[in-house]
A and B are shown apart, each in its own frame.
Chain A
Amino acid sequence: MERDGPTALERFLNGILPENPTYRQLLGMCPTLAVTGAMQPALTMVGATAFVLIASNVMTSLLRGLLKPHLRILVFTLTIATFVTIADRFLAAYMYSMSKQLGPYVPLIIVNCIIISRAEICASKQGVGVAVADGVGMSLGFGLGLASIATVREILGSGTWFGLRVLPTSWVGWGIMVLPPGAFVTLGMLIGAVEWASRVQPHTGIWRTARSLWSWRRLASSS
């Protein structure tokens, strides 16, 4: 077990809240705004991104001894592009209507900064187990971020959640929520809400745990 960096458990917990890709690192904004009009496309996107993230982390971790410094970005990109193509083809074959709804945002996973940054920060430096934990944690964090935005946008915009009606039909949907302005404003307000919660509530249980994990990780890691 390698101890030259955070452990698998630390990496896993890190990705969910303390270094949440959406709210803390502000990475992967493109799919965050584009596919969160409803829960189903949002979670399909999370699934596809999770597959690519974990697979590319595993592959990068297996190759980490062979990477030359100036060609490593090329290797990361090649790996990610391959897995994205595989994910895109699988979606087109088995979930065709969802694939069309997500459209060009599935291949855009290639330039999703989350995946390249995890390959650079974690997978190219640590073992496969840690890389997988990191991938799973980040995916859960990403899923949390996207699901929170999609919930707000879908319920206010269409009155449904996962396609099931949750608000009475007399509720006139806020169409703007499903459109681009709603995406931007929702994300901005939620980022503000998360910021506020993390500043104003430093002594409550969950935040104290998150912060101590954060400082624990800082102590233990060398990166």
Chain B
Amino acid sequence: MAETPKSPRRRPRGGYIGEAWLVILLAILYGGALAAVQTSLSGRIEQNKRDQTYDAIPQLVPGADKAKTQQRLVTGEDGKESLVYEAIGADGALKGWVIPASGQGFSDRIDLVIGVNASVSQITGLYVLEQKETPGLGDYIRSESFRDRFRGKPTDRPLVVVKSEPADPHEVRAISGATISSESVAAIVNQAIGNLKGPIGRLAAGGGAAAATR
């Protein structure tokens, strides 16, 4: 049998532990360093993640106070638990709800947050957290003017995307040249509202289910 080429991973003579003491020592040392980094920075990182959504809340629900907004868990019509935000104003009154939603866009996932009024009957705002649509075309869904097209739309029926001026309150005008991205956003909004409208309504009427602590 031909001599197999020397690879750097042949069985060492002193046994594995004897040879590996440096690796084990380094693993402990580095593990400690990482634990230190984690404990000191994780607070900031969590805050950054939360701020992303919370900073958008006053835009989405008029009158909402970031500090008073609470997270809630609701079970949607699809049987799965979802996180929603109960947007409370500075005066303590319920101003509306913020629903995170995501779905497939043209290129990749789109993550949105949808603002609705207290009775979940109207959309009060839309904000795109993450998208990877075509630059210059599809990524126009991030712009204020596109998102504004959803403001004031009713939630009783699914929204339909049209290419001309909307004739009906349930119609939304698409971005020219980016129909699929626009339709994806509408589909995500319809799916989320259809799924959670009933449960949120019941939550508001029933006087609050168990609040989530995350």
The reply, when asked whether chain A contacts chain B directly with Cβ atoms under 8 A, is yes
Binding site for B on A (CB under 8 A): 63, 66-75, 78-79, 82, 85-86, 89-90, 92-94, 96, 100, 157, 173, 175, 178-179
B26 partner residues in chain A, CB cutoff 8 A:
63, 75, 78-79
Q: Which of B10, B33, B44, B48 contacts A86 (CB 8 A)?
A: B33
Chain A-chain B contacts (Cβ-Cβ < 8 Å), number = 67
Residues of B within 8 A of A75 (CB): 22-23, 26
Which residues of the partner chain A approach B19 to less than 8 Å between Cβ atoms?
Answer: 68, 70-71
Q: Is the CB of A78 within 8 A of B30?
A: yes
A70 touches B27 (CB 8 A): no
The CA of A88 and the CA of B26, in the complex, are separated in Å by: 20
27 A-B pairs whose Cβ atoms sit less than 8 Å apart in the complex:
A68-B22, A70-B9, A70-B12, A71-B19, A72-B8, A74-B23, A75-B23, A79-B26, A82-B30, A82-B33, A82-B34, A85-B34, A86-B33, A89-B37, A89-B38, A89-B45, A92-B41, A92-B45, A93-B45, A93-B48, A96-B45, A96-B48, A96-B49, A157-B135, A175-B134, A178-B136, A179-B134
Residue of A nearest to B107 (CB): A179
- Residue on A nearest B52 in the bound complex, by CB: A96
A70 — which chain B residues lie within 8 A by C-beta?
8-10, 12, 19
Report, nearest first, the 4 A-B pairs whose CB atoms are least far apart: A96-B48, A82-B30, A93-B44, A93-B41
**Chain B residue contacts of A68, Cβ below 8 A:** 12, 19, 22
User: In the assembly, what is the distance between CA of A72 and CA of B8, in Å?
Assistant: 9
On chain B, the number of residues with a Cβ less than 8 Å from chain A's Cβ atoms is 26
User: B22, A67: Cβ atoms under 8 Å?
Assistant: yes
**Complex alpha-carbon distance, A111 and B137, angstroms:** 34
Which residues from chain A contact B52 at a C-beta distance below 8 Å?
A: 96
Measured between alpha carbons, how far is A68 from B23 in the docked complex, in Å? 10
CA distance A78 to B34 in the complex (A): 12
B20 contacts chain A at the CB level, 8 A cutoff: yes
Shortest distance in angstroms between A65's beta carbon and chain B's nearest beta carbon? 11
Contact of B22 among A63, A73, A85, A89 (CB under 8 A): A63
Contact B30 A79 (CB under 8 A): yes
Contacts of A175 in B (CB 8 A): 134-137
Give B contacts to A, CB under 8 Å: 8-10, 12, 19-20, 22-23, 26-27, 30, 33-34, 37-38, 41, 44-45, 48-49, 52, 130, 134-137
The CA of A94 and the CA of B134, in the complex, are separated in Å by 28
Which residues of the partner chain B approach A78 to less than 8 Å between Cβ atoms?
23, 26-27, 30
Residues of B within 8 A of A179 (CB): 134-135
Residue of B nearest to A174 (CB): B136
Asked if residues B8 and A69 are in contact (CB atoms below 8 Å), the reply is yes
Contacting residues, chain A, for B33 (C-beta < 8 A): 82, 86
**Would you call B10 and A71 a contact (CB within 8 A)?**
no
Taking a contact as CB atoms closer than 8 A, the residue among B20, B37, B48 that contacts A85 in the complex is B37
B12: nearest residue on chain A (CB-CB)?
A70
Q: Are B23 and A89 in contact (CB under 8 A)?
A: no
Which A residues are CB-close (under 8 A) to B23?
A: 71, 74-75, 78
A73, B41: Cβ atoms closer than 8 Å? no
**Which residues from chain B contact A96 at a C-beta distance below 8 Å?**
45, 48-49, 52
Chain A residue at minimum C-beta to C-beta distance from B21: A66
Chain B residues with CB under 8 Å of A86's CB are 33-34, 37
Cα distance, A177 to B8, chains bound together (Å) = 42
Q: How far is the CB of B31 from chain A (nearest CB, A)?
A: 9
Chain A residues near B136: list those with CB within 8 A.
173, 175, 178
- Report the Cα distance A68→B20, complex, angstroms: 9
Measured CB to CB, the nearest residue on chain B to A69 is B8
Q: For the complex, what is the distance from the CA of A175 to the CA of B27, rounded to whole Å? A: 46
